[in-house]
């Protein structure tokens, strides 16, 4: 109940800190007979892993996933899929600078207050390294739902926004640049900006947009477990996320009903899609799209105040290899969490 | 599993359509010995009920809650609290205009596709009437946590925004006007705007801001069940919600780490609060604040196209008594869902 | 989390004490389109209700169930089915004899220690009256699974055992006598015995056997949620139950593997069925059968010691109208809980 | 949802087949600050492991547990405890004899019908090897509740019964003999019997009795989640279990209320304890005791019929190294599951 599981029928439970021997997880509820492409899973891992480009953290972690159960002769058997991702890059660091200190806008302080104890060698469970396990589960979920297409991409970096709707984009280009923005021009500007920010020893936030296509009608439950409510929770559970909106989102709150209503075509599709593919919490077959806001990474390479556990304010300059901007590596995590949510609702929908 | 429950330890399960004899629910997990003020509960109901002012729907529903169990001699006994809210205003309407038709941006179409059947006499479970049960549960949750202060208010109506931070507002004024905006000047403009919209037979969206004060440090779980992720889900599960942001929200995504980090005071409080009272998914004792976007109500009093179940596009002018703007009545619902989330995490936190 | 829900996908949540206005519950997860026969539900209620014959408690409670939602035009809609059962027989009793006293082998003492408070007007949630809600849910579950046949009957009363296997019995005779034993001769002896016990002011235990036929292959999950583990929990959750065994049961523990193994026929059925229709936690298509042990009712009409809340031992002779033997009225409850378990696993199995 | 998790707040999720690289699990919800004695955990593993004595299977598996997270500087941190148990004894066997065959009273047939696929190299999830992960979790649960004493022992082997009540036994002697019966004389006879059975190429069932002492008053929930209902489910989820009874058990069903009621002492303890330490589903502070029936192991070393997947009856003599009697190795598993149940209710009880 410490909240390390997600989903009801397709259910992922994760474990692991950044500085133990391994992290990993268990995927329960995956139906039998799903063909598993291990290379495709490892590809998703490589999209999330540190050190993949010049604009992300330069830590080197291969993030190789080892499956221990649940797959036999290339297919799922219906039994739980256990996996581990060894931690290969645990340097015997000197942690004295964080052991007794609470870094601003990190979870150090609340962890110590809540648990009375803290594995000070890293961020513990609040480390973004935990999301590696989510990417594994998401990759399995994607293979369970091959007809559904999930494409996330970076839609803003700091003040730089991609001013195109998703319909104008070619998702096949997302992986062509380290920012993961499918618009080449915008990507160049964003990358430039991130390089600048890094030189300043600073960090910057951004947004990720996710588009889900080819979703069957009927996924989602009408009251508390609305499809967009669960997508929202899934996204907000990713490190550094500050906001979620789908369809017309916050802009929709400015509109009139006569502008906002999506009129029907005779085949049940709609002429507009301000609803974002979801009506009353249930997918209506139109594209689902949403936007996720990420704050700037808290660890900066500038001198900053911090609080020690004796109640003194001290100063520290961030050390280590951190991301100047989190959104390029967040793209596969957003897709993974979306896939997990859809896989769960897909199974629930089979019970009607 | 059709998703009519919310919460793990403090758990609300609801039932009821807008056109049955009653709706209601069961609150399970409320600790024993909590003094229950029935008038305070009924007051919350009156904030949500139809017909309370000139700018909301003119349906008349008293929304009287009847408790059937779990309270004895004025206190909770620890057993489940069952309650019903009779439906007193079910007119024997002619439903032929909706029986065979799918209204734009309503859930009619997806319900029929998902369930193969639909109680066409109203919105069924997608009716906002369902939220009456949430308000009951939220009112109990508030009484369970008397030290925590939850104040929501309308922060925008259509294009009209309240340009003050919550610190500049006096929450005791929220109930002084039908819009539930604690700033009197803004409230007048918003009310005017809603009256205009109604005259046009149109509707308009808006936003609700919620501020939670005096929260103990340590509520929330670090991975999937982050406090803000659960708050986000709770808000997104309310009818017509399109977005959620907390703390710096979407604006935070434009900022640099050097601007965004909340530096500590020596007592563990922070000088700024862009984090919105939550670090790594766990409350840090600072004010929690978030913003919720509501789309305009889909039922408008203008002529509109709709789809019938034979695949024809027809036309209809909305009938009935509907809200021109949903946010004034959404304020107590936002507070109720926030209270339910906090009550649940409060109990979970007792297990450490 | 106070444990008032049962099931994962087909899920019943109940509320209500014996002395409130009503008890009731919510059935969530029932698929849409199930035709509901209200008379059949009320018939199950009448099998459980007090006052139905000379050998059960003479309290008069009509136990009429009122459905408030989830059923429309005679069919389930897929939305939660809310229902209440009004308490019509709450006499304004003098409760002083139990208010300050702990009756032996009742839950009075543990309730007061656990909750610090107790609704002393009756057994609260430990009253067998709570099972009325289970019978409603079970009756709905039976209608959801019309092909599955669930037949329970009284197989022993005190020292009197029905010495026939279930294959020798005609279940259509179970309702022919007040004991609910399908063997007429045994029923007469059992009834006689219960009458004697009642004259002595005493009570007696007994066992109920339940046979489930026509179960599809594949219900149940292989590890923690084995079909028989869930059936066992469901039965042990019924008031006064002390034991559960299925298939060969405790006798099977005396046997050798060469005697116990069920050899196959070529169609996958087995020549013997010591397994009781379940292999590795999963139904194999053979008859499921199990036996449930009920202790004697604790309230006896003889003088007995009890403990008061000041630490004194006092004496009391039981008052009120209680069952001399619980098993005749337990038969429909056993069937109801079995139906709920099967309905849940049936839905879970649809997700593979 | 394939049921590989147990518990609500103290929650174990397991994975792994007998023939993968490893099995393992995740313990979620263990409070922080619990001192973990790794040797004590390994000792429990050694009680369950194969090859420990002449009367159990002669397979050699060291069953070394490796913890990957959640423990830091010798204490739990409150984060999930991930662990693996490598499979070191996977011989590259010839599985053709079971690949296409369904062994009697094994789960082969139902697995293939349910999942459409089966890892035929062993019992898959129905292998008793899965219980190794339960023993790990149970050992952690025991360390979380050091004041509670859980002692299980073998109380019968086939027709040989230990004719002493648990009060007459010295639990410190349970580990003195390979049968795990604390009565030396009975142990000798049981051991002899098992050796005989093995020589015959046969197997035999038995019962395990478990006694839990020093339980605080108040564990368990009054309706569906009664303490004994959950204990029953936990035990019935162990491989080969056919029955569960607590307190007076099936014998209680023969008794009268005047004999069965446990009268109080002035301190709230009871003079007798036919209730088995549980009233209305809640612990009353008296000793909890229950009995678990295990069927004989299905794999015998005699010629037996089996069904192949083409619908033919063939013959096979069991191969491999199997237990002639499962109960000696079941003792630590029974204790482990009891500890897990108690740990969960202990945490739940903290929320009142």
Q: Which residues of A are annotated binding-site positions for FMN?
A: 125-127, 239-240, 280, 295-299, 321
- The pLDDT tens digits of the residues spanning A270-300 come to 999 999 999 999 999 999 999 999 999 999 9
Give the pLDDT of residue B90. Answer: 63
Q: How many CA atoms lie within 13 A of D130 on its CB side?
A: 28
- The pLDDT tens digits of the residues spanning C157-174 come to 999 999 999 999 999 999
Query: A266: how many CB neighbours lie within 10 A of its CB?
Result: 11
Helix runs in D29-168, H state only? 38-48, 96-99, 108-115, 131-144
Q: Which partners does chain D have (≥3 C-beta pairs < 8 Å)?
A: A, B, C
pLDDT exceeds cutoff 90 at C2? no
pLDDT exceeds cutoff 80 at B1? no
Domain containing residue C207: CATH number: 3.60.150.10
Determine, for residues B80 and C2 on separate chains, whether the beta-carbon distance falls below 8 Å: yes
Positive or negative: CA dihedral A43, A48, A53, A59: negative
pTM: 0.97
- The answer to whether C158 and C193 are in contact (CB under 8 A) is yes
- The pLDDT tens digits of the residues spanning B274-333 come to 999 999 999 999 999 999 999 999 999 999 998 999 999 999 887 777 899 999 999 999
pLDDT exceeds cutoff 80 at C65? yes
C311 to chain D, any CB pair closer than 8 A? The answer is yes
Q: How many CA atoms lie within 13 A of B214 on its CB side?
A: 9
Query: A199: how many CB neighbours lie within 10 A of its CB?
Result: 10
Determine, for residues B249 and A243 on separate chains, whether the beta-carbon distance falls below 8 Å: yes
C-beta contacts of A91-99 below 8 A and 24+ residues apart: A93/A121, A95/A120, A95/A121, A97/A316, A97/A319
| Average pLDDT of every residue of chain A | 94
pLDDT exceeds cutoff 60 at C1? no
- The pLDDT tens digits of the residues spanning A71-83 come to 999 999 999 999 9
Give the pLDDT of residue C94. Answer: 62
pLDDT exceeds cutoff 60 at C106? yes
Give the pLDDT of residue D322. Answer: 83
Taking alpha carbons only, the member of C59, C290, C72, C45 closest to residue C166 is C290
- pLDDT band for position A249 (50/70/90)? very high
Chain B positions touching A11 (Cβ under 8 A) are none
Nearest CA in chain D to C127: D280
pLDDT exceeds cutoff 60 at A187? yes
Nearest CA in chain B to D1: B1
Determine, for residues C351 and A348 on separate chains, whether the beta-carbon distance falls below 8 Å: yes
CA separation for the pair B109, B89 (Å, rounded): 25
- The answer to whether A228 and A314 are in contact (CB under 8 A) is no
CA separation for the pair D255, D261 (Å, rounded): 10
Give the pLDDT of residue D195. Answer: 96
Chain A positions touching B197 (Cβ under 8 A) are 256
CA separation for the pair A29, D60 (Å, rounded): 32
Q: Which partners does chain B have (≥3 C-beta pairs < 8 Å)?
A: A, C, D
Taking the CA of residue A7 and the nearest CA in chain D, the distance in Å comes to: 9
Determine, for residues A351 and C352 on separate chains, whether the beta-carbon distance falls below 8 Å: no
- The answer to whether A289 and A210 are in contact (CB under 8 A) is yes
CA separation for the pair B36, A257 (Å, rounded): 40
Taking the CA of residue C78 and the nearest CA in chain A, the distance in Å comes to: 8
Taking the CA of residue B297 and the nearest CA in chain A, the distance in Å comes to: 6
Determine, for residues A293 and B5 on separate chains, whether the beta-carbon distance falls below 8 Å: no
Determine, for residues B266 and A107 on separate chains, whether the beta-carbon distance falls below 8 Å: no
- pLDDT band for position A268 (50/70/90)? very high
D280 to chain B, any CB pair closer than 8 A? The answer is no
Pairing label, strands A288-294, C288-294: unpaired
Give the pLDDT of residue C85. Answer: 96
- The pLDDT tens digits of the residues spanning A31-65 come to 999 999 999 999 999 999 988 988 888 888 888 99
The angle subtended at Cα B125 by Cα B122 and Cα B129, nearest 5°, is 70
Give the pLDDT of residue D73. Answer: 92
Give the pLDDT of residue C17. Answer: 87
Of D31, D79, D222, the CB nearest to B351: D31
Average pLDDT by consecutive 10-residue portion of chain D (352 residues)? 89 91 96 96 94 86 92 94 88 70 92 88 82 97 98 98 97 97 98 96 97 98 97 98 98 97 96 97 98 96 92 85 92 98 96 88
CA separation for the pair D235, B156 (Å, rounded): 57
> What's the whole-number mean pLDDT along residues A245-252?
98
Of C9, C68, C117, the CB nearest to B16: C68
C244 SS3 class = strand
Determine, for residues A1 and B348 on separate chains, whether the beta-carbon distance falls below 8 Å: yes
B3 to chain A, any CB pair closer than 8 A? The answer is yes
Q: How many domains does chain C divide into? A: 1
Q: B with C: how many residue pairs have Cβ under 8 Å apart?
A: 158
Structural domain for D32, as ranges:
5-349
Chain D positions touching B26 (Cβ under 8 A) are none
Determine, for residues C350 and A350 on separate chains, whether the beta-carbon distance falls below 8 Å: yes
Of D13, D75, D84, the CB nearest to A84: D84
Chain D positions touching B351 (Cβ under 8 A) are 9, 29, 31, 347-348, 350-351
Give the pLDDT of residue B251. Answer: 98
> What's the whole-number mean pLDDT along residues C12-40?
94
- The answer to whether A144 and A138 are in contact (CB under 8 A) is no
D222 SS3 class = coil
Determine, for residues A9 and D1 on separate chains, whether the beta-carbon distance falls below 8 Å: yes
D35 to chain B, any CB pair closer than 8 A? The answer is no
Determine, for residues A264 and B307 on separate chains, whether the beta-carbon distance falls below 8 Å: yes
């Amino acid at each position: 109940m410490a909240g390390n599981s997600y989903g009801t029928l397709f259910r992922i439970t994760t474990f692991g800190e950044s500085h133990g021997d391994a992290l990993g997880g268990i995927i329960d509820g995956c139906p039998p007979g799903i063909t598993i492409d291990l290379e495709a899973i490892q590809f998703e891992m490589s999209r999330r892993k540190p050190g993949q480009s010049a604009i992300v953290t330069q830590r080197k972690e291969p993030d190789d996933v080892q499956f221990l159960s649940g797959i036999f002769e290339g297919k799922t058997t219906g039994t739980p899929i256990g996996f581990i991702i060894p931690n290969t890059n645990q340097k015997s660091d000197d942690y004295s600078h964080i052991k007794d200190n609470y870094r601003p806008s990190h979870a150090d302080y609340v962890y110590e207050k809540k648990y009375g104890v803290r594995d000070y060698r890293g961020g513990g469970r609040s480390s973004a390294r935990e999301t590696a396990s989510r990417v594994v589960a998401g990759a399995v979920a994607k293979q369970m739902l091959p007809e559904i297409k999930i494409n996330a991409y970076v839609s803003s970096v700091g003040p730089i926004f991609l001013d195109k709707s998703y319909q104008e984009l070619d998702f096949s280009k997302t992986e062509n640049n380290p920012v993961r923005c499918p618009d080449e021009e915008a990507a160049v500007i964003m990358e430039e900006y991130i390089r600048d920010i890094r030189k300043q020893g600073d960090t910057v936030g951004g947004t990720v947009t996710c588009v889900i296509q080819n979703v069957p009608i009927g996924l989602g439950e009408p009251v508390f477990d609305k499809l967009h409510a669960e997508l929202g929770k899934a996204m907000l559970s990713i490190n550094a996320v500050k906001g979620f909106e789908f369809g017309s989102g916050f802009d929709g709150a400015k509109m009139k009903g006569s502008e906002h209503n999506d009129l029907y075509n005779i085949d049940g599709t709609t002429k507009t899609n301000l609803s974002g593919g979801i009506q009353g919490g249930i997918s209506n077959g139109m594209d689902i799209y949403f936007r996720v806001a990420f704050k700037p990474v808290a660890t900066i390479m500038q001198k900053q105040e911090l609080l020690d556990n004796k109640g003194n304010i001290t100063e520290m300059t961030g050390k280590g290899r951190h991301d100047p901007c989190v959104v390029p590596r967040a793209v596969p995590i957003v897709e993974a969490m979306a896939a997990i949510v859809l896989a769960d609702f897909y199974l629930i929908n089979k019970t009607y």
